[in-house]
Structure 1
Amino acid sequence: MIAGLGLTGTAEAASTSGTAQPAALTSNKIYRSGTAAAMRCPLPGIKPGSAVSVKRFQQALARCADRFWAARFKAAGLRYSPPKLHITTGKRSVCGTITTNGAQYCPQQRTVAIRIMKRDLRDQIKMNLAHSVAHEWGHHVQELSGILDAQNTLYWRSGKTRRAALSRKLEMQAECFAGVFYRAAFDSLDSDITWAQWINGVKQSRESKVHGKPRNLAYWQDRGYDAGSAAACNTWTAPAARVA
């Protein structure tokens, strides 16, 4: 149902067994940002085969994600600033080549880069197109809240195995943050699939060494959606089986 699902991100991380983890990861203020009410996002329609309409849809959803996270950061006593957004049909962005997954977050430039792929023009399931925005905004939340810096410090002090585990925790947290956003904005998407169908599709997506097992990615996204709060998204203290 959700062929070509791109689960993306640029920050890498590692497991920290036996190592004290910084408060920026385990007790970040963003976890205390409360539960958001449903919000209305004015989103344009998508025309089959039209990259322009895909771009407009993603730009509008990005504005919605900014409104959502600005309110959550304010509730947590944190300062929010929107990322730059670069949407293209080409391969290049301000942070280099855009991956074949189609989207990435560039922390140094605080930029979300999205590449509209040919598959996006053929198979325009709105949730696939929306997820490029929702997931990468999750990484921006990690950047602004200090989570990316904290995990980056641990990453470079760790060996290969621990780095791989940190990467998975980071990506699964971004999935959870995306789920929190979806809880407030899902009705606005006017999606052609239900939430349950979407989560089932995530479970069946391709496994990635960086992102982890699809069933766990689905678990964290669904957990964020069910809770409607970033409090549900502390992957750093989760059991190993949930971040494998």
Structure 2
Amino acid sequence: MKCVWGALVVVAVSLISGCGVADRTTAGHATAASATTSSSPLPTSSSLSPTTTTSTTRTSPPRTPSTSGPVQSDPDLGYNPILTREGAGISAVNCRLPAWSANQAAAEAFYRAAIECHNDSWRPALAGFGITLTAPSLWAGARGADYNGACGANASGREAFYCSQGGEIVMPYDTMKPITEYGVGYALAVLSHEYGHHLQRVTGLMTAFQARVAALDYSDPAVDLLNRRLELQAWCFSGMFYGTNTGRGSITASLTKQANDNNSGAGDRPGERRFHGTSKNVANWFGWGQHPSLDPNASVTPSMYECNPWAARDAGWLE
């Protein structure tokens, strides 16, 4: 399944949004927007069909991403404290999700339970860095057109997004419904990615990103690279949740396979601005979050230290 996420950056107010749903697209993306966006480029959407990638297969560039040592030119992003401690993982939890049913109330209950699972998994890890995890709020109303939260009305037509200004994950039932028809694991992948953006907010990464982008001309290619790094990191954080919790409670191997299927086609479309990364790299960073080694048999565990595209010296991993 292929999905594209565009990014809109206006000053320092952030809206993290999902991809369009013209053809049952999936997953989310990061954009930054003010309440008024008419003078700025709008995010674009894409469509694609499901992939057949298995939960244990991902493509890889020739070298692993290098995340060792501080990045002196980027201390706020590449050397954020959570990215500097080797082996710092998250907690395994016995996640219990309610049964999925095709109605708004059941979908909202499922999303709320999934957020709690992410909270429980991430809270102790962040506490180890002196960070108190404030849970994201959720808006999961029946119609996306009815949303009018901290980031304003959802004029982009996206099926899901994260509003950094309000710390809110927005998952409207009507726009998410086509995605769930592929399987509830696809919807869970969308939510988990948006949760990754919330982690960027509570750790200060989002603020540093916004400040960096605001200092640049919007047409500067450096803006593209900053956005790709933000997106790829959110995928890696999401991968950590799956890598730590697959096989526990409701996070079955089947749900994780659907997440891999979803994310293996979630990159930029040809001809669009390079804000999100290639589909190969989306899959790579999501997979790296689950299992940070090119050797599938290596005994490794998910680690925030490994989710550092701000420090990746291999440019191929940032395409």
TM-score between both structures, scaled by the size of structure 2: 0.67
**What residue number does 1:43 align with?**
97
CA distance in 2, matches of 1:10, 1:189: 31
Shift of 1:192: 7.1
What is the rounded CA distance, in whole Å, between the counterparts of 1:21 and 1:93 in structure 2?
38
Alpha-carbon shift at residue 195 of structure 1 (Å): 4.0
Structure 1 residues 206 and 170: alpha-carbon distance in aligned structure 2, compared to 1, 3 A threshold: closer
| 1:1-244 correspondence runs (5 A) | 4-11=25-32, 21-31=73-83, 32=85, 34-47=88-101, 49-91=102-144, 92-94=147-149, 95-98=151-154, 99-116=156-173, 117=175, 118-120=177-179, 123-159=181-217, 160=219, 161-187=221-247, 188-191=249-252, 193=254, 195=256, 198-205=259-266, 207-208=268-269, 209-226=274-291, 227-238=301-312, 239-244=314-319
Check the 8 A contact 1:9/1:171 in 2, yes or no.
yes
User: Equivalents in 2 of 1:55, 1:144: separation in Å?
Assistant: 23
Distance across 2 between alignment mates of 1:134 and 1:30: 19
| 1:151/1:166 CA distance change after superposition, 3 Å | same
- The code of the aligned residue for 1:236 comes to W
Tell me how large the CA RMSD over aligned residues is.
2.5
User: CA distance change for structure 1 residues 100 and 111 in 2, over 3 Å: closer, same or farther?
Assistant: same
Q: CA deviation at 1:234?
A: 0.5
Question: C-alpha displacement at 1:78, in angstroms?
Answer: 1.9
Amino acid at match of 1:204: G
Instruction: Choose 227-236 or 91-100, whichever is displaced more.
Output: 91-100
Distance 2:215 2:126 in 1: 29
- How many aligned positions are there? 236
Residue 218 (structure 1) shift: 0.7
Distance in 1 separating the partners of 2:184 and 2:238: 15
More helix by share: 1
The one-letter code of the counterpart of 1:232 is E
1:182-227 per-residue CA deviation (whole Å, 9 max, x = no partner) reads: 1223333444736456435422346354322111111111101114
| 1:136 CA displacement | 1.2
Kindly state the Cα deviation for residue 155 of structure 1 after the two structures are TM-superposed.
0.7
Q: Deviations over 1:84-142 (max 9, x none)?
A: 11112322241234444422111221111112223045x15122111222111111111
Deviations along 1:64-98, one digit per CA (max 9) or x if unpaired, are: 11111211111222222112111123222412344
Q: Residues 58 and 133 of structure 1 are in contact (CA less than 8 Å); yes or no, is this contact kept in structure 2?
A: yes
Q: Which runs of 4+ in 1 moved over 6 A?
A: none
Q: CA–CA distance in 1 between the matches of 2:310 and 2:267?
A: 23
Structure 2 distance, partners of 1:172, 1:214, is 10
Q: Which digits, 9 at most, give the CA deviation of each residue in 1:31-81, with x for residues without a partner?
A: 23712342111110112x323222211110011111112111112222221
Q: TM-score, normalised by structure 1?
A: 0.85
Query: Does the 8 A contact of 2:216 with 2:223 survive in 1?
Result: yes
Give the structure with higher Rg (CA). Answer: 2
Instruction: Note if contact 1:202-1:215 (Cα within 8 Å) is conserved in structure 2.
Output: no
Opposite residue 127 of structure 1, the aligned amino acid is: G
Question: Does the CA-based 8 Å contact 1:8-1:132 persist in structure 2?
Answer: no
Where structure 2 has 5 or more consecutive residues not aligned to the other structure, the ranges are: 3-23, 34-70, 292-300
**Where does the alignment leave 5 or more consecutive residues of structure 1 unmatched?**
13-18
Q: Judging changes above 3 Å, is the alpha-carbon distance between structure 1 residues 108 and 37 closer, same or farther for their aligned structure 2 residues? A: closer
**Distance change >3 Å, CA 133–CA 158, structure 1 → 2:** same
Partner SS for 1:8? strand
